[in-house]
Amino acid sequence: MASDLAAALADIPGVASKLRQEHTRTPEGRCPICTAGPQGGHVVHPCGIYTLATAALVEIARRRSDG
């Protein structure tokens, strides 16, 4: 079962896919959006939002298969 936040995200059409698309790994292995502070650069991929969006997409697929 998905976390409560992933389940809630799964209820909003298109959001999980969009978030996952925006937070896709760069060639350097980092998230292009999430920063680790003003001088820290970008966080290592997968970031928390990518992981959450993935869980929401899994929840969406589970709901579809359950009918």
Per-residue model confidence (pLDDT) at position 10: 96
Q: Which residues contact 13 (CB under 8 A, 6 or more apart)?
A: none
Per-residue pLDDT of the chain (67 residues; tens, 9 = 90+): 569 999 999 999 999 999 999 999 999 999 999 998 777 788 999 999 999 999 999 999 999 998 7
CA angle 29, 12, 44 (to 5 degrees): 10
Domain that includes residue 31, residue range: 4-66
Per the structure, the count of domains in the chain is 1
Residue 25's SS3 state is coil
Write the single-letter amino acid at 17: S
Question: What global pTM score does this model have?
Answer: 0.88
